[in-house]
Structures are given as structure tokens and as C-alpha cells.
Amino acid sequence: MRKRVDQTTAKSGLRGMLRWSALGAAVLVFSTSVLPPVSAEAQEQRYYQRRSLMDFFLGRRYIDEAPQAPGQYTRPRAAPQRKKTTPPKAAVSTPRAAPVIPPEEKVVEKLDNAQKILVVGDFLAGGLGVGMDAAFQDSPGILIETHSNVASGLVRDDYYDWPTQLTKFMDEAKPAMVVVMLGANDRQQMVTDVGKEKFRTDGWYTEYQRRVLAFGKAVTARKIPLLWVGLPAFDSPSMMADAAQMNQVYRKQVESIGGEFVDIWDGFVSESGDFIVTGSDINGQQVRLRTSDGINMTDAGRRKVAFYVEKPARRILGTQASPDLVRLDNSSAPAIGLSSNPADHTDPIALSDPNLDGGTALLGGAAIPVSATKSPRDKLVQDGEMAKPPAGRVDDYSRPAAKSTAEVSVK
């Protein structure tokens, strides 16, 4: 009996298992036919894992994460949060300062009858002419005319004949003043009537003095003021020593014929007398005055040389070099609009009768009446006598007269 019961129980268990298997197969067919297909890329990116017995009947469960190692825990990834975007703030318009435009330099128109300053010489004179233009740019009565030859001098007259060229320039320009700056290229052999003279010999200096004197006389013979600008210091010690000796020749020869020597040496050396590249400009600021070769000038150096020449030039030319000089013609006269109606204006009053009182002399024009006695002023100025102050005034230091005995006894 017991054996039959066991067989019955086994059969019923088998039927249950078959029933559950059929149910699982039906569900699997339904899921595969209803669920949408998954792409191959998605399949490669997914992993699956059997979890339980229900998963066996319902199919494999797909997960998006890779299988974890035993004992490893991975925190589920949170959904990406969008960054909060704040609306842009309204642009605040900040008032900008107007760009500073440097004022245009006022160009002073030169007068038709402006006088010319003729600048002649070598490469240093060319720079001097530039500085003179800046120095007199505000003077309507002065024009600067510069004629320079870079490699010229008084030694090589075969290269550039300065005496002949100077006469030509003066005839054309008719200058009110001549400024000369020569000698930087003259440190070389000179050909004379006798022969060749080497530099620094006595014969060389004798002939050089004669040429400097003749060059200066060509200017002073025409009654034209002459300014001869001396050489500056140079970086080369030998060239610096030669320049100092040549400046003595210029000073002596030019002053002997009525010219004026302009010494610029101190402006380009230190307090100890050494050559300087950087020094004070005309405003006292430290600037570069010389170029790297130790010979040429910078713009500031040219203006400084012109500063030394400007002072004697303004002194000699006087009001003609003044910046306040104006044109003396109808162009600078004020406009006077007088109508044709004589009632609109009054005729000028004659100087012979300013008060309209019939007088024949101006105020103060009558002769001073002659007095028989001298005035206190005449006594003081002519005789040295001071009038006595009135009695009782603060400056009356005289003692009162002593009273008599009778007057005292009466009181």
C-alpha cells in the first residue's frame, strides 16, 4: 500500500514539473516574439547572468554592467545632472575716456621778409642745421638755410672748395648771419704750395690758420655776423686731443676778424673732462647725445649744439628773432567797418584842441613859471639843505625856548 502511495506522489510531482516546464516555455516564446530586437552593438555592450530559478524559466536577464568580482561592490551610477546655466548678466556699459589725441604742433608761418641764417660745414653742420630749425621754429622772422657736405673740410680743397661755395651761397641767400662748423674731417695730410704737410706739424698748423682766417674774412668783409662753432669731444682720445687744439685755432683766428667763437665743449664732457655718451639735454633730462661710433650726434645732441648757437644768434639779431614778431601789414590789422553814413561815427579830435575849450596847447605844454625863491626840493637837491619841519611835528626835534623869570613869576 505504501509503495503505491509513493508511486502516486512521484507521478503527481512529475506532472507538476512538466506543467511548470510547459508554462515556462510558453512565457519564453511570448517574450521573444513580443520584445523588440536588440541591435548587435547593444548586445556586445551588455552582459547577462543567471540569477535564480525564475530566470531560468523566464529567460536570461540582461544587465548593463559587467559582472563584478566576488566581494567587489560597485556603486550604481547616478543619472548625469545638468549643469545649472545662469543667464548672462546684462552688459554694463562703462563709459570710456576719449582717446587722448596729441595736439598738432602749430606751424608758425614765416614772414615774407624773414632774415636767413646760413649754416655751412661738414656732417656736424648738417646736424646743427636740423637743431637750428627746431630752435627757431617759433620765430616768424628767421629762416634757417643749411648747406653741408659730409666729408668736406678746409684741408681737401681738391675734393670740395669751400671758399668758392661759401661765396656762392652768400650771394644767393643774402643771409643776416653765417654759422660755420668745420674741422672734423681735417685731421689728415694737407697739400700746400710748398708741398705736402703732415698733420700736427708746424707747417700744417701755419697753413691751416691761414685758411681759417681767409674763410672767416669772406663773411666779415660783407659786414655779416659770423659764428664759428667749435668741435665737440670725441670718443677717441687722440681725436679728442686734436679737436681741443684745433678749437684754439678757430677761437684765435675768428675773434681777430670780429667774429664770435661758440664753445660747445663742456656740453659733451663730464665734470672731470671725459667723453660722455649720455648727458643732459636742453631741459636738463638725461638722454643719449652721441651715437655708438662716438662721433656723430643724436637728435638730442643736435638740438643741444643748436642751443649753444641760439643764444648769441638771438642776441645779435634782436627783435627779428623774437617769437612775438608779427606781420606789419594789412593782414594783421584789425578789421574796422565804417559805414558810409557820417552820423555813425565821429571824426577824430585834433590834438591842438583836445578839450574843445579853444586852447592852443596840450596839457602840460605851458612853460613852468619861474619863482624867485627856491622850493624845498631845489634846496635839498641843489644846496643839500633840508627845510625845517613845522613846530610840533613828530620829526621836530628842536627844544622849546626857555621862559624868562618874569613870565614864570607872573604865573
* 219 neighbors 175 (Cβ within 8 angstroms): no
Q: Examine the domain organization and report whether 231 and 293 are in the same domain.
A: yes
Spell out the long-range contacts of 59-68 with Cβ–Cβ below 8 A and sequence spacing 24 or more.
Answer: 59/27, 59/28, 59/31, 59/32, 62/38
Say what the pLDDT of residue 375 is: 78
Q: Are 232 and 301 within one domain?
A: yes
Sheet-wide strand order for 260-262: 142-148, 115-121, 177-181, 226-229, 260-262
pLDDT tens digits, the chain, 411 residues: what are they?
A: 444 545 555 555 556 565 665 555 554 544 444 444 444 444 444 444 545 666 656 655 544 444 444 444 445 555 555 555 554 444 444 445 555 555 555 678 898 889 999 999 999 999 999 999 999 999 999 999 999 999 999 999 899 999 999 999 999 999 999 999 999 999 999 998 888 999 999 999 999 999 999 999 999 999 999 999 999 999 999 999 999 999 999 999 999 999 999 999 999 999 999 999 999 999 999 999 999 999 999 999 999 999 999 999 999 998 888 887 765 555 554 554 544 554 555 555 555 555 555 555 555 566 666 666 777 778 888 887 877 777 878 777 777 666 666 655 555
| The predicted structure's pLDDT at residue 3 | 46
Last residue of a domain, one of 23, 48, 63: 63
Query: Do both 157 and 276 map to the same domain?
Result: yes
* Number of compact structural domains in the chain: 2
- Residue 274 CB: number of other CB atoms within 10 A? 10
> What pLDDT is attached to residue 82?
58
> Would residue 313 count as lying in a domain?
yes
Residue 48 lies in a domain: yes
Is 334 among the domain residues?
no
Based on the domain organization, do 237 and 162 belong to the same domain?
A: yes
Q: Give pLDDT, residue 328.
A: 52
Last residue of a domain, one of 284, 300, 321: 321
100 domain-assigned: no
8 A C-beta contact, residue 176 and residue 320: yes
Shared domain check, 308 and 191: yes
Residue 59 and residue 121 in one domain: no
- Is 380 within a domain? no
Whether residue 265 contacts residue 232, with contact meaning beta carbons closer than 8 Å, is answered with: yes
Does residue 170 share a domain with residue 21? no
Q: Which of 301, 257, 261, 307 lies closest to 279, judged by CA?
A: 301
Residues 284, 288, 290, CA angle at the centre, nearest 5°?
A: 120
The count of C-alpha atoms lying within 13 angstroms of the C-alpha of 206, restricted to the half-sphere facing its C-beta, is 8
Task: Give domain status of residue 181, yes or no.
Answer: yes
Residue 154's domain comprises: 115-321
222 shares a domain with 141: yes
Please give the helix or strand (H or E) that residue 142 lies within, else none. strand 142-148
Evaluate whether residue 71 is within a structural domain.
no
- Give the pLDDT of residue 197: 94
Among 162, 160, 168, 167, which residue's Cα sits nearest to residue 181?
A: 162
Are both 140 and 264 inside the same structural domain?
Answer: yes
CATH number at residue 282: 3.40.50.1110
- 237 shares its domain with 315: yes
pLDDT at 11: 54
386 phi-psi bin (left φ>0, alpha ψ -120 to 50, beta other): beta
In a domain, 279, yes or no: yes
Q: Are residues 144 and 255 in the same domain?
A: yes
- Could you identify the residue written with the cell 579830435? 349
Q: Which residues contact 45 (CB under 8 A, 6 or more apart)?
A: 64
pLDDT at 39: 42
What pLDDT score does 269 carry?
Answer: 96
Q: Beta strand 115-121 with 62-63: parallel, antiparallel or unpaired?
A: unpaired
How much is the pLDDT for 193? 86
**Are 144 and 59 within one domain?**
no
The residue out of 41, 63, 85 marking a domain boundary is 63
pLDDT computed for residue 52 by the predictor: 62
Burial of 41 (0-12, 13-18, 19+ CB in 10 A): exposed
